[in-house]
Each structure stands twice: as structure tokens, then as C-alpha cells.
Chains A and B, each alone.
Chain A
């Protein structure tokens, strides 16, 4: 169980998160939607302890992350796997070393065993014969898959996805969505994704939460969100330029 309680975060004078409250049950798949610059990535980074809230707390299975020292925080982080928006592969390492990085650091397995596990995880995400190449030789979609293979290599209980389909063509985006659904079914993990891609959100979510002006303004199932009467959520999910959401830097002349 993950609980976000009254999370506030400032960057300089900018108040990005203004009291976020959200509870994610074990095994649930939650997608947080919101516009660019709304603080979705900041929220995700709080869940894995990359950022500490200025006020409020994050609780992961009874561990209060802001109060933990580095050593204990790292123990909690071993429950997580995270797929980054840019994949964030280590470009000085081969693909299998990227996938097996956590195993190399935190287990006593031999390198040949780790390579075998890496090959198996790569196969799970639909990649074969790529283990010995460098990340720079991969396409965007392949990099996402390798990032996903790395995220699941340590068999985590919780998977975090930061904009999993951003920058991909629609077919590759759908393939990544299918993989996310697959991962959840095969590994029985809790999933938290952030995205502004509504097609992706509807496909992978049990529950969708909308982040706007630094707070969660509504949650619901895919159908509830699709048919919402809330004007802000409605404008976002329908992708309309006119409505209550004011785009930063753009003047509305109604």
C-alpha cells in the first residue's frame, strides 16, 4: 500500500505540489494524468524517494520515506522498478549490463547467471539478440523495452512508469501499453504510471487520478473519467484547447 499524505513541494518560489493526497492499494494500477508542467514527474519522484516533500509524507508499506536514512531508503527502493521517460539507460554499459545492473550491485550471482536472467527479462519484453549491443544502437521503442526489462529485473513489487508512451509512434505506444498490462498480469505488481496520453491511460488503468494546480482534483475508473462532468477533467480527457484549464503562456480570448 502506498499513501501520499498532504504532499507539498516548492522549487524556489514555485509551489508545484499543493497538498496531494492519494492512496494506491496493493496490486492496483493507477494512472496519474495531468498537463505538461503540472508536477506529475515530481509526484512520481516523491513515491520512490528521489525527492523529499517540503510538507506531508509518503508511506510505502508502513515505511515513511521522508524520515528514512539513505541505507533504509535503498532497502525500500528495492521494492520498486522504474521506467523513465527517456529510458535513462546507462550508455557506457551493454544492454545486458543495464538490465542486470541491480542484480550486479545487490546479489552474489555470477555475471554469467546475471546475463542469463537479463536475456530472459529481455525476452519477456519482446527483445532477442540485443544483450551485447550498446544502448546507442537501439531505437526509441527498443530503449523503452530495455528500460522496462531493467525495471523488472529485480522482480519488484511496485512498477513506476514515467510517461511510458511519450515520443513513440502510435503502434509502438500501443505495444508498450500491452507490455505494461502484461507485466501487471504476469508479475502481479502494483503499477503507477503518469501520462498525458489518454489512450494509454484508459488501457492500463484500474483507476485514473487527475493532477491539476498541484492537487488531485478527481479519481475514478476509466469509464468514470471518460464520462465525468467535472469541467477541468472533461477538458483534459477530450483534449480541448478551450475550457477552464489555462495554458501557461497562452492568452485566451473568449
Chain B
């Protein structure tokens, strides 16, 4: 009897999240289906790419440069204890390209553009603008979600590349100008140990994060219920679920890409 109750309880706890994951996958499938169908939403997609990519650039730049700087500072003081300060360049380059570049960029874009996607679509839902699109014979997945999905998928790798470069420059600045590292040694240890796979796997992560955060944020906004409060909750949940997805999937992607 206790076992039955425990299973029932487990079922009620698991049912909601499983249903939600199912609905997100359905929306993803629908997005891919409408993505392939002409006419292509070029104007809308460009607008979203500007919003997700170009407008996120200042925040990404500032975050990346200071991440690179603090990484150099911390690894220098740590490595100095056993005389390995010459490897600071390697640590900064590998950490930025493999891990911090894609993850931090994805978290920033989620907080900035992802939250905006969820709030905008949520407001459109509760003010019947999405219904209005349908009455005007326009598929809302094609018109609203496909451009946002594409912008996440394309702009996240672009921002990650920028983040990697700026982070490495930040590390170089701190190491060479503030900590007095040798320029030649620093440059050599940066480039000699950096492999194409490090950059490539970071970009694969960025594509996955971009696609995930845009679909999750669009999903939460698109299916918003219940007025202003509903929009607030949907936005908050979109950000939380995206953060969790990025951080959890990062581990599994790393295990797969660097095995």
C-alpha cells in the first residue's frame, strides 16, 4: 500500500515536467517544419538577429574581457606556487574556448534576449495578438518562433567567437602588462596548446545553447496564460529553465565532445 502511494506520488511529481518537455519537443519539431517552408521570414529573422546578436554585444564584451582578466589573475597567483605561471596563457585560452565563452555568452543572452522573447510573446498571447495573426492566415510559429530560433542558433556561435577573442585579450592584458609575464612565452603557450577541436567543440555547445534557450523562452512566452502576472511568471520560468538546461547540458556535452 505504501509502495503504491509512493509510486502515485512520484507519478504526480514527474508528470508535469515530462509533459512540459514533451510540449517543448513538439514546438521544436513544429519550428523545424515551418523553418523549411517558404516564404522565408528574412526581414523578421534579421530583426531578431540584430536584437539577439548585435544588441547583446556590449554586455558580452564586458563580461568576456573581465572573465579573461580574472582568470589570468587567479591562475597566475595559483600557478606561481609551483612555478607554472608560464601556463597562464594556455589556461585562459582553453577555459575561454571550451567552457566559459559558450556558457557565459548563453547565460547573458538568456537573461537579456531570452527574457525579452518570453515577455514579448507572452504579452502578445494575453492581448490576443497571436490569435489575430492566425485570423490573418499567418502561422504564428513561422512568423514569431522560427526567426527567434534562427537568431539564437546563428548568433550564439558568433557571440561566442567574440567572447573567446576578447577573453583571451583580457587575459593577455593582465598577464603581460600587470603581472609582467613574458610576451613571447605567453603568446606561445596560448597558441601552442590550443587545438582546433577546442574552438570547434565550444561552438557546437554554443549552437546547442542558442537553439535550446530560444525554443524554451519562445515556448514559455507562446503558451502564457493569465494576464500580466502570467507574463511575469512565464518570463521568470523561461530564464530559470534555460539556465538549468544550459548548465546541465554543458556537463554532458563536455563529456561527449572531449571524451
| CB < 8 Å neighbour of A80 from B127, B129, B135 | B135
User: Is the pair B129, A105 in contact by a Cβ cutoff of 8 Å?
Assistant: no
Contacting residues of chain A (84-135) with chain B, CB-CB under 8 angstroms: 84-86, 88-91, 101-102, 105-106
In the bound assembly, the distance between CA atoms of A50 and B137 in angstroms comes to 11
- Would you call A70 an interface residue if the criterion is a C-beta within 8 Å of the partner chain's C-beta atoms? yes
User: Is the pair A88, B127 in contact by a Cβ cutoff of 8 Å?
Assistant: yes
From known contacts A70-B139, A74-B139, infer whether A88 and B134 are also in contact, taking CB-CB under 8 Å: no
- Would you call B132 an interface residue if the criterion is a C-beta within 8 Å of the partner chain's C-beta atoms? yes
24 pairs across A/B with beta carbons < 8 Å? A50-B134, A50-B135, A70-B139, A74-B137, A74-B138, A77-B135, A77-B136, A77-B137, A82-B132, A84-B132, A86-B127, A86-B128, A88-B127, A88-B128, A88-B129, A89-B132, A91-B127, A91-B129, A101-B138, A105-B136, A105-B137, A106-B137, A150-B136, A154-B136
Q: Identify 6 new A-B residue pairs, CB closer than 8 A, beyond the known A77-B137, A84-B128, A101-B136.
A: A74-B139, A77-B134, A85-B128, A88-B127, A88-B132, A105-B137
Chain A residues near B137 (CB, 8 Å)?
A: 74-75, 77-78, 102, 105-106
B interface residue numbers (CB < 8 A to A)? 127-129, 131-132, 134-139
Chain A nearest CB, measured from B168 CB (Å):
38
- Would you call A208 an interface residue if the criterion is a C-beta within 8 Å of the partner chain's C-beta atoms? no
Contact digits for A49-80, partner B, Cβ 8 Å, 1 yes 0 no: 11000000000000000000010001101101
- Would you call A5 an interface residue if the criterion is a C-beta within 8 Å of the partner chain's C-beta atoms? no
Chain A residues near B131 (CB, 8 Å)?
A: 45, 50, 84, 88
User: Is the pair A90, B132 in contact by a Cβ cutoff of 8 Å?
Assistant: yes
In the bound assembly, the distance between CA atoms of A88 and B125 in angstroms comes to 10
In the bound assembly, the distance between CA atoms of A125 and B128 in angstroms comes to 22
Chain B residues near A102 (CB, 8 Å)?
A: 136-137
Can you name the residue of chain B whose Cβ is closest to the Cβ of A82? B135
Most chain A CB inside 10 Å of its own CB: which residue of B132, B134, B135 = B135
Chain B residues near A106 (CB, 8 Å)?
A: 137
In the bound assembly, the distance between CA atoms of A90 and B128 in angstroms comes to 10
- Would you call A48 an interface residue if the criterion is a C-beta within 8 Å of the partner chain's C-beta atoms? yes
Can you name the residue of chain B whose Cβ is closest to the Cβ of A151? B135
In the bound assembly, the distance between CA atoms of A160 and B128 in angstroms comes to 14
Chain A nearest CB, measured from B59 CB (Å):
23
Q: Which 4 A-B pairs have the closest CB atoms?
A: A88-B132, A88-B128, A74-B137, A82-B135
Chain A nearest CB, measured from B231 CB (Å):
14
Chain A nearest CB, measured from B148 CB (Å):
13
Chain A residues near B134 (CB, 8 Å)?
A: 48-50, 77
Most chain B CB inside 10 Å of its own CB: which residue of A81, A82, A106, A154 = A82
Chain B nearest CB, measured from A130 CB (Å):
18
Chain A residues near B138 (CB, 8 Å)?
A: 74, 101, 105
Can you name the residue of chain A whose Cβ is closest to the Cβ of B126? A86
Chain B residues near A86 (CB, 8 Å)?
A: 127-128
In the bound assembly, the distance between CA atoms of A202 and B138 in angstroms comes to 34
Chain A residues near B139 (CB, 8 Å)?
A: 70, 74
In the bound assembly, the distance between CA atoms of A77 and B128 in angstroms comes to 16
In the bound assembly, the distance between CA atoms of A82 and B132 in angstroms comes to 8
Chain B nearest CB, measured from A77 CB (Å):
4
